[in-house]
Amino acid sequence: MAEIVDRNLQVNSNVDETGAKFYNVREEPFEVYGLYNYRTEKTFKRLPDELSNLSWGIKNLYRNTAGARVRFSTDSDFIIIRARMSQISLMPHMPLVSSAGFDLYTDCKESGISWFIDIFRPDINMTEGYESKVFVRGKGIRYYTINFPSYSSVDELEIGLSEGAFVGGGLKYRDILPVLYYGCSVTQGACSSRPGNAYQNIVSRRTNTDFINLGFSGWARGETELVGYMSGLKMSAFVSDYDHNAPDIDHLKKTHKNMYEIIREKNPDIPYIIMSKPDFFRLVGEDIEINAARRDVIYETYKYALRNGDKNVFFIDGSSMFVSGEEDMCTVDNAHPNDYGFYLMANAVEGTLRRIWVVKELSNK
């Protein structure tokens, strides 16, 4: 095998643990976000086990840790992750560090904004998880966020820090309930270059807000049981993004308005954001007429809500997202966004959320 010349491209699977002390992220002072009962469940998951039998797809995806994050603070000059994983997803169109890896951010205490530091490089030959080490610059206590993989299942995660280093709680998100996202493979994070570049993570970093990712690749289809469960979750806003998963227009007609009504019944006042898919103008696959017909069904839910006096419902037209004149640069495969596509999606969602928050603040004065 040819030798790799650039050492930045190498992955060292033999991590030096000398002088390291390991901590279980399920235990304080670490705090994990975006998962179901993470302190007591034996494996990390996004849904309770009883909902996993809704479909074959959800059963295989509900333990994927899309949107999960762990936050903490330390003055250690290195951070090691030691992950035990029961499912590792290898995809031809998505980097391994995104589907099965972790990335690291530092969080600003004053602004709440987070900045990327590095990735924890996974070994392409791993079968049950991996270890990776990142050295951090600077002295003093810093706040950190580690994003979990989008398309793999993590059973255990330990963090190694230098012996004697300070270990404390992470930076808190702004004092509102999490935003709940429900949808398709795009919602789950396909195909960002790393976990932190999925659009929900981008919005979260920019606005310092917590979120829950209930995106299920190909399998979130407006199921009544799952929608009923979501309606009981505590949230500050709900984002409906499952256009891609509906197998046809008739399915959208049967489920889209029904989901709105179920969520709205238990959550009469939260902002309800309705999105259609962004890959509207495609050179292959579905034609524009079909995409327009699907969008019309979704838009009808929005109009139905308005006709019934709902003043807290919002529509994001997916066809307006990838119109920079560089539409062919926004996806990996004409469907799943790359980082640029996710950046444009984040702009649309963030802009909507900020307008909602501004109006709310003004109305409370």
d(CA 155, CA 256): 34
Looking at the DSSP bridge assignments, the partners of residue 97 are none
- Among the listed ranges 33-42, 80-89, 205-214, 287-296, which one has the minimum average pLDDT value? 287-296
User: Of 89, 76, 197, whose CA–CA distance to 136 is shortest?
Assistant: 76
Residues 15 and 133: beta-carbon distance below 8 Å: yes
20 CB-side CA count, 13 A: 21
Domains 14-169 and 179-363 alike in fold: no
* Sign of the Cα pseudo-torsion (219, 53, 38, 228, in order): positive
Query: What does the domain layout of the chain look like in residue ranges?
Result: 14-169, 179-363
Residue 6 above 70 pLDDT? Answer: no
Q: What is the pLDDT of residues 156-211, one digit of tens each?
A: 999 999 999 999 999 999 999 999 999 999 999 999 999 999 999 999 999 999 99
Q: What is the pLDDT of residues 308-325, one digit of tens each?
A: 999 999 999 999 999 878
CATH placement of domain 14-169: 2.60.120.260
Place of tokens 């999925």: 198
CATH number of this structure's domain 179-363, picked from the four choices 3.90.1570.10, 3.40.50.1110, 3.40.50.970, 3.40.50.1220:
3.40.50.1110
Residue 23 above 70 pLDDT? Answer: yes
Pairing state between β 179-183 and 114-120: unpaired
User: Of 126, 123, 79, 138, whose CA–CA distance to 104 is shortest?
Assistant: 79
User: Of 211, 294, 202, 308, whose CA–CA distance to 249 is shortest?
Assistant: 294
Q: What angle do CA 271, 108, 162 make, to 5 degrees?
A: 125
d(CA 109, CA 172): 9
Average of per-residue pLDDT across 136-153: 96
Looking at the DSSP bridge assignments, the partners of residue 82 are 131, 158
Buried b (16+ CB within 10 A) or exposed e, 89-117: beeeebebbbbbbbbbbbbeeeebebeeb
Q: Is 129 left (phi over 0), alpha (psi -120 to 50) or beta?
A: left
| Structure letter (DSSP) for residue 94 | B
- Among the listed ranges 286-290, 298-302, 339-343, which one has the minimum average pLDDT value? 286-290
By residue count, the chain amounts to: 365
Residue 1 above 50 pLDDT? Answer: no
d(CA 139, CA 147): 23
Q: What angle do CA 313, 319, 323 make, to 5 degrees?
A: 125
Task: Please give the biggest Cα pair distance in the chain.
Answer: 67
d(CA 356, CA 314): 9
User: Of 174, 239, 181, whose CA–CA distance to 209 is shortest?
Assistant: 174
119 φ/ψ angles, rounded to the nearest 5 degrees: -105, 155
The pTM of the full predicted model, rounded to 2 decimals, is 0.95
d(CA 12, CA 6): 13
